Amino acid sequence: MNLTVSADAIKIGPAQLKAFHFDATDCPDLFPPLVALAAYCDGTTTIKGVSRLAHKESDRGITLQEEFAKLGVDILLQEDIMAIQGGPNLSGGIVHSRHDHRIAMACAVAALRASDDVVVEEAHAINKSYPDFYNHLQQLGAFIVR
């Protein structure tokens, strides 16, 4: 939260997101949403536990690196660490879910603040765990074309 106090008013606004460090070794399913968050954080976020991602629906470490690169996000994989270089804006682009529900949802969430349209190919992968995901995003005000 950003708080500004003047003589006659207090202004509260959104805070600038800052990079963070997180050990996701015991919760590897958090990697995709954490990458979507880290993409908008100033600085380099590091997440530990990449080795746990190799045998999911896709090799999520590599998939996150490749798909988020299409949106202008640099992700470095080094040993068991993922380093995400965040910033204020993601570009638009075409990403592919790789038939992985968590990748589809992470890309869609990241797209909410992208500077241009994001197309998620094989977006129906979300049906594995959260069939109403896109409906719920629309209810929150997201513009989604199917």
Q: How far is CA 32 from the centre of its chain?
A: 6
**29 among known catalytic residues:** yes
CB 45 within 8 A of CB 86: yes
8, 23, 26, 29: the active-site residue: 29
Sign of CA dihedral 75, 77, 82, 83: negative
Spell 72-83 as b/e; 16+ CB within 10 A means b: bbebeeeeeebb
Q: Which residue type sits at 131?
A: P
Taking alpha carbons only, the member of 19, 76, 68 closest to residue 50 is 76
Report strand pairing: 21-23 vs 43-48: parallel
- Active-site residues, by number, are 29
